[in-house]
Structure 1
Amino acid sequence: MRLVPLLVLLISFAGVIGFTAANISPDPIYRIASGSMAPHLLGPHAEFVCPNCQLETSIDGAIELPPEVTCPNCGQTSSFDRAEIYPGHVIQWERVSFDQLQRFDLIVLKDPAHPQQFAIKRIAFLPEELPEIADGELCQSGMLICKTPRQREATKLLVYDQTHQPSDNNRFLTALPSGSGWDVRPGVMAFAPLHGDHSGESDWLVYHHQPCLPPPSPQQHEGPPKDSYAYNHSVSRELFPANDLWLEWTFRHWQADSLTFKLKGKTAEASIRIDPRKKVVHAQSTVGEIELPLEIDTLTGATVRAGKCDGRLFLEIEQGYHHWTFPLVAAEIDFAAQPLAVLVEGGPAVLKQAKVYRDIVWLGAHRRTDAWSWERKLGKHEIFVLGDNVPISEDSRGELGAIDVRKYLQGRVLRVTTD
């Protein structure tokens, strides 16, 4: 955890995505002016390419740039000077009626406190709901609000990209002291079962998480995943656990029987087993167990996403034009420093482009994960909005308050470009 002396000052400077305009409404195409929706929508920013792993990271350019940057992927700290500041993303939006809006939509608003400014936020709560946040999750009547797969993909945050694995810092390591069938290289994880003395041992490939935080935080150490934002490089603050985590990868080759994906917490575990030979998907946690039919007999060419989001295990498989979604059992996992592991059994397989993602950790009005609820239910024409860059966003938790859509709604974001 990192303490912050200047957090309030930084928030007031970079908090709201504001658009200063002379007209009553923003243009149909408009440029982002700050970082409260980063990294999904960027304001003025600098680009940093890590010399160690070559991952490109965006840094908030609306405030003074740091002299050094710590790569969020490999943890190496490098000097950073004379960086070019790029303009914010460009959005195109459309006018819509209120009844066309859904939770998690990106919308354009007139700022109630500043009539000549506009803001882009995400809808978190709908009319006549009581806004609640607990343990980093949006809640309603004490129940977690669950995203659709499309909404989850729209709000996901990259934790680690194995394609940019540096030679001196492999995060995916075998659990066997010797005799593993795994061969891990940047962007590729290949498995071939061994015979002989090691043939009866479970050859798990384990992801070892490293926080990769700027100094003075300890470097090159393992720890549970937290809600850090590389974009907020100059902001020091307390970090909170990221308890929604998943792995995405693509199969280049598959001749195995099954794959088991394990999620490991400090006191509990869960697993998802994909078995094309038996044509079943099996998932279990301390909360429950389920088995569902599987339509495919090979994973070759498939992209798989598996993990936990909004309190539940999930599995998605895309292969060609087909897309299967498996809503699985609930799971209560407080992730450990080695939160994910993969086991291939019965034959060789080649996995590529593995990426670890997390969900947004939503914070209450005091920018903590403690249970929090707003002062009242929303009216029938009011919505509650939040910024994706929760630690620095000024939104309905603060001066924006509840948004009366009759007065302040401008429209819905259609697309985002970097031009």
Structure 2
Amino acid sequence: MGLTAKSTWFGKGVAVPSASLAAPQAKTRVRSGNDTREVIESIAFAFILAFILRTFLAEAFVIPTGSMAPTLYGRCKEVTCSQCSHQFAIGASDELNRSNGTLEMRIETATCPNCRFENDVKDRPVFSGDRILVNKWTYELAKPSRWDVVVFKFPEEPETNYIKRLVGLPGEMLRIWRGDIYVRPGLDGEYKIARKDDPNKQRVIQQSVYDDTEAPRVLIDAGWPERWQGVEIPANDVSPADWKEDPAGWKADRKARSFSITGNESQAGKWLRYRHYLPTPEAWNQALDNQPMIFPAKPQLIADFCSYNHYAPMGNGQRGEPDPYWVGDIAVTGKFRLGPDAEGVEKANVIVELTRGVRVYQCVIGTDGFITLRMSDELAGEEAFRQIARSKGPVVATGSWFNLEFANFDQRLCVWINDQLVEFDAETTYAPPVLYGPQLRDLSPVGIFAQGREVDVEELRIFRDIYYRADRDLSDGRAFPDAAVSPTEYSSPGRLAALLSDPLAWGAEYEARAFAAEFPALGADEYFMMGDNSPRSQDARQWSNTRGADRRHAVPESALVGKAFSIFWPHGVPFMNDGKGYAPLPFFYHKVNKAQNPDVENYPRFSIPFYPQWWRWTRIR
């Protein structure tokens, strides 16, 4: 009979001759009644399966606002700066009435974080928020972890879902101080900084400060100083604002945006330093009008500027306040090539340096390819640098280009070479200094030093950490170290922002008038949630307590919906019609209440054709 195949009918195996599989089949009468029933059953099964998946496994959500930016975008506009070509996003949820979704105002301008030019964005396309997938079974198998991005039912309105980052665990007291999160177990012990266990998660949420590949040529050609320069640093303690350019040091190719120095030129040791020159509106007006620069440029401290929030006019009663808080946790990235040592040089070194207050942190690249991390603390009387750790093996090679990132976040130093985290022979965390405030050298917080070695570097970029603001509800958000009547970290942001070019005065003012925030210990199954966009996030710091909970800032474990794990559809990118696409029908446009907003000019809420923004289909970290 030859080979046979097995066919199963109600679980019973029946041997069928293989030849019969190809035999002609007799025509049978179509049973329309049974087919109709099968279709109905299939549809019902699909609905039941979808219900089970949605209830127990995964669910899709749309992000409406920007409280989690830049990790997740709410309704937003994407902007390419007309002066430096830097790409950034701004929140646009303020344009809509939050109760009925009608268009009630138009955002007109947005500030570029790279060059601070005010861009016209009124007619830029608007996009709905990111669409994400949430694992609903994750917390059935394991407890939530700190820094998870979590969807939960808002304790004040359980029918409303919120999405935030989990920062406080059961039983912990929490303190927000100088932009960082500190926790301790209940009333005992000391507060310790809550850093990310995985340093790669930190890279995802860091925010751009300056990208040298996108320098504003119009402004620089008009006389505004370059931020990266080869400089001579005097022996005495002179402000970086007074450092002079070193003509015998690093050579800059301003067109290629690259820097180089030969081994012979660097024998005495030469610095390439970054100074945080922030263009002002007056400087831009002078440059665009071809007028001489009459307002001198002054370097400033790096502050918690968040471009997602900087647009005009502001809606829903929001105020466009300045970002006044100094951020000392920064990172620098660049593309390097190290050449041979100069002849006759006893010690050749290449150093990447980050400063933070009284501390200096260095990443030293030796001629053997090893990396050494070291630090000094002038307040502690450390005249020489002390070693923190050394790489377990050589990580760079002479003559080859490599990407390097050196970061100082959450009292920990990290280095990546070609996007791979470098392993060291010791912990790279450190105890905080006694004095926290900024110093003069924080006006130039990043530098590259070469001695006796040929170096080429390009694609320099600087990033900063998220600054968590110590805002609070006065009912239980206690100020530290003293009682305070203001619910914000500092009551007059404009006054503090005006001192960013004077680090010592800024530090004195902050010490005298700013406060940390402390929150009572969480219960055995409670969590503390905060948004990544701290200036514009309504989170556990400020929630009201109309429900009369013992701890108004706590989210009970029973309210957790699941862990956000993926952006599966960011938004479509329109093309044609100068990148705006087309909106041929009325339903492409917003709804406008003309009786209440007669002067609002309507515009499309989406357009066609478009292609998917595939580069943001990513895992949420």
* Shorter-chain TM-score range: 0.7 to 0.9
Tell me which of 244, 252, 262 is aligned to 1:193. 262
Match of 1:351 in 2: 457
Amino acid at match of 2:79: F
1:166-217 deviation line (CA, Å, top 9, x unaligned): 332632111142122332446753323164xx55432211111134577899
Of 45, 64, 76 in structure 2, the residue corresponding to residue 33 of structure 1 is 64
CA 1:293–1:62: 2 relative to 1, 3 Å: closer
Separation in structure 2 between the aligned mates of residue 280 and residue 80 of structure 1, nearest angstrom: 45
Residue in structure 2 matched with residue 381 of structure 1 by the alignment: 525
Asked whether the 8 Å contact 1:214–1:233 carries over to 2, the reply is no
Structural mapping, 1:216-255, within 5 Å: 221-234=298-311, 235-251=320-336, 254-255=339-340
Q: C-alpha distance in 2, partners of 1:114/1:215?
A: 46
1:392 aligns with 2:536: yes
Distance in structure 1 (CA, Å) of the matches to 2:92 and 2:296: 25
Select between 166-175 and 356-365 the one with higher mean Cα deviation. Answer: 166-175
Cross-structure match for 1:20: none
Q: Provide structure 1 residue ranges, at least 5 long, that are not aligned to the other structure.
A: 1-22
Q: Hey, what's the Cα distance between the residues in 2 that align with 1:389 and 1:187?
A: 34
Alpha-carbon distance in structure 2 between the residues aligned to 1:26 and 1:119:
18
2:414 pairs with 1:315: yes
- Alignment counterpart, residue 177 of structure 2, candidates 134, 138, 150: 134
Q: Distance in 1 between matches of 2:216 and 2:281?
A: 18
Counterpart-to-counterpart distance in 2, 1:187 and 1:105? 41
- Secondary structure of the residue aligned to 2:127 is coil
* 1:378-415 superposed Cα distances (whole Å, 9 cap, x missing partner): 11110000000001101111227210011x10110111
Q: What is residue 202 of structure 2 aligned with on the other side?
A: 152
Tell me if the contact between 1:70 and 1:214 (Cα under 8 Å) persists in the aligned partners. Answer: no
Map 1:94-133 onto structure 2 (within 5 A): 94-95=135-136, 96-97=138-139, 99-133=142-176
Task: Report the CA distance shift for 1:265/1:411 in structure 2 as closer, same or farther (over 3 A).
Answer: closer
Q: Distance in 1 between matches of 2:107 and 2:562?
A: 36
The range that moved more, 376-385 or 216-225, is 216-225
Q: 1:220 offset after TM fit, Å? A: 5.5
Please give the secondary structure, in 2, of the residue aligned with 1:40: coil
1:270 aligns with 2:337: no
CA shift, 1:147, in A, is 1.8
Evaluate the alpha carbon distance shift between residue 171 and residue 30 of structure 1 in structure 2; reply closer, same or farther with a 3 A threshold: same
Misfit runs of 4+, over 6 Å? 23-27, 213-219
* C-alpha distance after superposition, 1:245-291 (max 9, x if no partner): 11122335654653212223454433221214273514122165324
- Which residue number corresponds to residue 165 of structure 1? 215
- 1:322-333 matches, cutoff 5 A: 323-326=421-424, 327-328=427-428, 330=430, 332=433
User: Is this contact kept in 1: 2:350–2:364, CA < 8 A?
Assistant: yes
User: What amino acid maps onto 1:90 in structure 2?
Assistant: R
Following superposition, the deviation at residue 219 of structure 1 comes to 9.6
8 Å CA contact 2:267, 2:453 repeated in 1: no
Match of 2:554 in 1: 402
SS at 1:97 equivalent: helix
* CA gap 1:317/1:57 in 2 versus in 1, 3 angstroms: closer
- Tell me what 1:6 maps to: none
Measure, in 1, the Cα distance between the counterparts of 2:156 and 2:147. Answer: 23
Q: Following the alignment from structure 2 to structure 1, what is the Cα–Cα distance between the partners of residues 326 and 79?
A: 26
User: What is the Cα deviation at residue 107 of structure 1?
Assistant: 0.8
The residue aligned with 1:15 is none
Deviations 1:313-351 (A, max 9, x none): x1323348x541444353646362211101133333333
In 1, the alpha carbon distance for the partners of 2:107 and 2:297 equals 20
> 1:12 — aligned with what?
none
Give the conservation status (yes or no) of the 8 Å contact 1:247–1:356: yes
CA distance in 1, matches of 2:266, 2:455: 16
Aligned to 2:517: 372
- 8 A contact 2:110–2:310 mirrored in 1: yes
How far is 1:367 from its partner? 3.7
Supply the distance in 2 between the matched residues of 1:26 and 1:227 (Cα, whole angstroms).
38
C-alpha distance 262-43 of structure 1, shift in aligned 2 (>3 A): same
Secondary structure of 1:42's counterpart equals: coil
Identify the residue that residue 175 of structure 1 maps to in structure 2. 231
Task: Mark the CA change 1:282 to 1:207 in structure 2 (over 3 Å): closer, same or farther.
Answer: same
Larger Rg: 2
Partner Cα separation in structure 2 for residue 192 and residue 216 of structure 1: 32
Aligned to 1:71: 112
Q: Which runs of 5+ in 2 are unaligned?
A: 1-53, 96-105, 184-189, 233-245, 285-294, 312-319, 342-347, 381-385, 473-486, 490-513, 544-551, 572-621
* In structure 1, C-alpha distance between the alignment counterparts of 2:557 and 2:296, rounded to whole Å: 47
| Higher strand residue share | 1
CA distance 1:405–1:66, change in 2 (3 Å): same
Shift of residue 131, structure 1, vs aligned partner: 1.4
Do the aligned residues in 2 keep the contact of 1:58 with 1:231 (CA within 8 Å)? yes
Deviation at 1:51, TM superposition (A): 1.3
Provide the residue aligned with 2:405 in structure 1: 305
Alpha-carbon distance between aligned partners in 2 of 1:214 and 1:89, rounded to the nearest angstrom: 32
Counterpart of 2:562 (choices 396, 411, 414) is 411
**Distance change in 2, residues 1:401/1:311 (3 Å):** same
Paired residue secondary structure (1:170): coil
Please tell me the root mean square deviation across aligned C-alpha atoms, in Å. 3.0
**1:50-91 superposed Cα distances (whole Å, 9 cap, x missing partner):** 111100121111114543333210122333332221111121
| Native 8 Å contact 1:387 1:394 kept in 2 | yes
Asked if the contact 1:171–1:209 (Cα under 8 Å) also holds between the matched residues in 2, the reply is yes
Q: Does the 8 A contact of 1:180 with 1:194 survive in 2? A: no
More helix as a share of residues? 2
Q: CA deviation at 1:130?
A: 0.6
**1:78-97 to 2 correspondence within 5 Å?**
78-95=119-136, 96-97=138-139
Distance 1:186 1:138 in 2: 42
Higher relative contact order (CA 8 A, sep 6+): 1
Query: Does the 8 A contact of 2:335 with 2:458 survive in 1?
Result: yes
Percent identity of paired positions between Structure 1 and Structure 2: 21
Deviation at 1:371, TM superposition (A): 1.9
Deviations 1:213-234 (CA, angstroms, capped at 9, x unpaired): 7789999542000011111114
Q: Which residue pairs with 2:388 in the alignment?
A: 290
SS of the residue 1:391 aligns to: helix
Q: Does structure 2 retain, via aligned residues, the 8 Å contact 1:283–1:329?
A: no
The CA distance in 1 between the partners of 2:374 and 2:255, in whole Å, is: 29
Distance 1:82 1:310, change over 3 A: same
